[in-house]
Amino acid sequence: MNALGRTSALGILISITILVSVNTTVSVQMGTKVLLCCKPTPLTKAILIIWVIKPRGPPPCTIFYRVETKISEMKCRDMRITWASTFDQSPDLQINTVALSHDGHYSCDIASSEGHFHKRLNLQVLVPPEVTLFPGENRTAVCEAIAGKPAAQIFWAPAGYHVTKNELHSNGSVTVRSTYYWENNNVPVVFCFVSHPTGSKILSIEKNQSVTSPLHSLLTILYVKLSLLGIILLIIGFVFFQKRNYFRK
């Protein structure tokens, strides 16, 4: 029965020359709902609908719908993907709560008496990064955009020397860490601007949060040395005074 359905669909594919092919990218934030649209118009003359899903993590899976027999084969239950409505209305799929594992390539094929329609859909799952700004070692400020997808971009104001590193995680998210060196900047406050498709953020940090300046350290050393010298002089003076008293006796 299934095999017959497949050959009849193939037979029509061969005899018809029209082939419509569409490529799109859909960006959606993790945790939201998404509709994966195949063809905008109702399919009155469709014979077979095939969705092939190749997510980044889980193995690929296929969803079939044979219009003639009204048989639907869906082997993607674990991925929480469902048909959006009844097939007479649309061949679209739906994901109620998008997870990072849904990120990947989707393709929809419709074989109909009017021709073969093919659509490739790239589903890009967006994850907002967790953003922090804190004082680092050696008079630096560190701005982090943790586990965002895609990688966030970090800018500093006022512009200054900084080093930015990206760390790619196995789930496809990226942590961006930028270290700003205050050394040559006489500014009291520095701003970190984190740009991301899910929304941008500006954080600021005051210079006084970083550790002691070299001048301060120098003064501390001088102060300690002078104090030591004073104590030594006092001891010598005391001993000398004691000895003088002793010899007087």
Q: Tell me the closest approach of the beta carbon of residue 135 to ligand NAG, in angstroms.
A: 8
In angstroms, the CA 249 to CA 243 distance is 10
Q: Which is nearer to ligand NAG, 15 or 208 (CB)?
A: 208
Residue 103 phi/psi, 5° resolution? -60, 130
Q: Which is nearer to ligand NAG, 25 or 208 (CB)?
A: 208
Residues that bind ligand NAG (CB under 6 A): 100, 127, 137-138, 147, 169, 171, 173, 206, 208-209
Q: Tell me the closest approach of the beta carbon of residue 188 to ligand NAG, in angstroms.
A: 7
In angstroms, the CA 30 to CA 188 distance is 38
Q: Which is nearer to ligand NAG, 5 or 160 (CB)?
A: 160
In angstroms, the CA 41 to CA 54 distance is 25
Q: Which is nearer to ligand NAG, 84 or 203 (CB)?
A: 203
Residue with tokens 């092939």: 52
In angstroms, the CA 144 to CA 133 distance is 6
Q: Tell me the closest approach of the beta carbon of residue 94 to ligand NAG, in angstroms.
A: 21
Q: Which is nearer to ligand NAG, 93 or 127 (CB)?
A: 127
Q: Tell me the closest approach of the beta carbon of residue 84 to ligand NAG, in angstroms.
A: 25
In angstroms, the CA 159 to CA 240 distance is 61
Write the single-letter amino acid at 27: S
In angstroms, the CA 227 to CA 245 distance is 27
Q: Which is nearer to ligand NAG, 186 or 209 (CB)?
A: 209
Q: What is the DSSP letter of 100?
A: G
In angstroms, the CA 101 to CA 53 distance is 12
Q: Which is nearer to ligand NAG, 189 or 239 (CB)?
A: 189
Q: Tell me the closest approach of the beta carbon of residue 151 to ligand NAG, in angstroms.
A: 13
Q: Tell me the closest approach of the beta carbon of residue 127 to ligand NAG, in angstroms.
A: 5
Determine how many CB atoms are found less than 10 A away from the CB of residue 166: 12
Q: Tell me the closest approach of the beta carbon of residue 7 to ligand NAG, in angstroms.
A: 43
In angstroms, the CA 16 to CA 113 distance is 8
For the chain, the straight-line distance linking the first and the last C-alpha, in angstroms and rounded, comes to 129
